[in-house]
Amino acid sequence: MAVELLIDESRIRERLGAMGRQIEDDYRDKPLTIVAVLTGSLIALADLVRQIRIPLRIALLQASSYRGATTAATTLVVNEAFAPDVVGRDVLLLDDILDTGQTLGALVEHLKDRGARSVRTAVLLRKIGRQIVPIEPDYCGFVIPDAFVVGYGLDYNDEYRHLPYVGVLGDS
């Protein structure tokens, strides 16, 4: 399928650099753990952490959402195999995209329940017009229109993640 360029590599690099500076200022002398949500945020994680020059730890989380058979409600199931140790840590939860907000909303509560000292959120992309859960990301790369995007970690059927830019997936 065709992919139409939305955000190119250099804009992403520049924006992650600015987010990195902000994170450095906010977490200086704090026990920072960046918890990245698999798999979509892996590329952003790798590029973002290399822009942050204060001590930090990296952890990963995996969660899958299941839609009820008879309702539109979704349930998020966290894969306990990862179970990051966040007790007493200031956690920055990183995801690729904020869409309805259900994933981030549930994972913030999950990390607090696991003993994090604080939990803030960072997303590379925020889609407008689809949010259900009222959550404001503390750090946001780009606000994008309501379109299905791929690249830079984001997938369609587990493909396109390796594209070095974010693009809109077309029909042809």
| DSSP state at residue 151 | B
- If one asks whether residue 103 binds ligand XMP (CB under 6 A), the answer comes out as yes
Clarify whether 29 is annotated catalytic. no
- If one asks whether residue 32 binds ligand XMP (CB under 6 A), the answer comes out as no
Stretch in the footprint of ligand XMP (CB under 6 A) among 54-62, 78-86, 91-99, 111-119? 91-99
What is the rounded (10 degree) CA torsion for 49, 54, 60, 63?
A: -80
Burial 19-54 (b: 16+ CB within 10 A, else e): bbeebeeebeeeebbbbbbbebbbbbbebbbeebee
DSSP-H helix ranges across the chain: 9-27, 42-49, 102-113
Q: State the Cα–Cα distance between residues 112 and 96, nearest whole angstrom.
A: 20
Stretch in the footprint of ligand XMP (CB under 6 A) among 1-9, 10-18, 26-34, 96-104? 96-104
- If one asks whether residue 141 binds ligand XMP (CB under 6 A), the answer comes out as no
- If one asks whether residue 126 binds ligand XMP (CB under 6 A), the answer comes out as no
In terms of CB distance, is 33 or 102 closer to ligand XMP?
Answer: 102
- If one asks whether residue 47 binds ligand XMP (CB under 6 A), the answer comes out as no
Among positions 16, 35, 40, 107, the unique one binding ligand XMP when judged by CB under 6 A: 40
* CA proximity to 123, closest of 19, 33, 4, 49: 19
- If one asks whether residue 148 binds ligand XMP (CB under 6 A), the answer comes out as yes
- If one asks whether residue 26 binds ligand XMP (CB under 6 A), the answer comes out as no
**What residues are labeled active site?**
99
Contacts with ligand XMP by CB under 6 A lie at 40, 95-103, 148-150, 154-155
